Amino acid sequence: MTGRCWAVVPAAGAGARMGSATPKQYLSLAGRRVIEWSLAPLLRLDEMATIVVATSAGDPWWRDIAPGSDKLRRVDGGARRQDSVLLGLRALETVADTDDWVLVHDAARPCLPDEDLAELLSRVAADSVGGLLACPVRDTLKHASGDGRVDRTIPRDDLWQALTPQVFRYGPLRAALESAAEAGVEVTDEAAAMERAGYSPLLVPGSPVNIKITRPGDIALASAFLEGR
Ligand code: C5P
């Protein structure tokens, strides 16, 4: 990728599935906080201009851990992930050009390999739409009937699990998220907003170690991945 790029890191979630009072992005992990690990590969990019971190309003954790970098800027996030990302994008309005690339990465994904990020940026640089890291689904998928039993098996061919970062151009991504918000449509990642706007994001194969901290056992898993590097 040539030229500058921007990033938005949604970090305003409460992480209810973790069952801890501290949101998952601020939990301790291999000597640092989860979010510090998530930000580190983005901060290592030479072309990164500014990383907007969207935290909940009145977040008491961010100021204690904010890694010292003048590339970081904090804004208040929103009720859903898509709202937090949109608020982060709006904060870049006066500095980002419509064709600039914006990378969106979950604060709760601390194991992003530098090689995956480099591969994503180089593949996307040659693409008109943009894309995302993703993993082909490896297990057989079952659909549940509601009573805890299987009612059918879903063919996994052509199914991918979406990861982050996801990288799109500022103008089209912002327009896609503004449009979803206006229409009251829920989109669980940036690619879904772009698909709704008629684009076909590029799938860039990424490592399955790039997990999103979601459940209590994930901290031990992420710690094993990071310490094994
Ligand atoms: O809850 P989930 O695992 O989908 O969250 C993914 C990312 O989105 C996390 O980094 C979380 O902090 C962020 N998020 C947010 N604003 C919300 C909900 C989640 O920034 N309202």
Helix, strand, coil % (nearest 5) of the chain? Answer: 30, 25, 45
Residues in CB range of 10: below 8 A, 6 or more apart: 54, 77, 81, 84, 85, 88, 104, 106, 107
Structural domain of 67? 5-228
| Alpha-carbon span 213 to 17, nearest angstrom | 10
What backbone torsions phi and psi does residue 101 show, to the nearest 5 degrees?
-80, 140
Q: Report the nearest-CA residue for atom 7 of ligand 1.
A: 106
Q: Considering only CA atoms, which of 105, 109, 138 is closest in space to residue 121?
A: 105
Counting as low any pLDDT under 70, the low residues of the chain are 1-2, 66-67
> Parallel, antiparallel, or unpaired: how do β-strands 48-55 and 141-144 relate?
unpaired
Q: Which residues surround ligand 1 with Cβ inside 6 Å? A: 10-13, 25, 54, 77-81, 84, 106-108, 212, 214
| Alpha-carbon span 222 to 225, nearest angstrom | 5
**Percent of residues, the chain, with pLDDT higher than 90:** 89
Q: Considering only CA atoms, which of 142, 137, 143 is closest in space to residue 157?
A: 137
211-224 pLDDT, tens per residue?
999 998 999 999 99
- At 221, which CATH number? 3.90.550.10
The pLDDT value given to residue 182: 98
Ligand 1, pocket-test mutation among 81, 83, 89, 214, most atoms within 8 A of CB: 81
The pLDDT value given to residue 65: 73
For the chain, the domain total comes to 1
Q: Considering only CA atoms, which of 166, 10, 182 is closest in space to residue 81?
A: 10
pTM of the model: 0.96
The pLDDT value given to residue 229: 84
The pLDDT value given to residue 64: 78
The pLDDT value given to residue 184: 98
> Parallel, antiparallel, or unpaired: how do β-strands 160-169 and 130-136 relate?
antiparallel
83-128 pLDDT, tens per residue?
999 999 999 999 999 999 999 999 999 999 999 999 999 999 989 9
SS3 204: strand
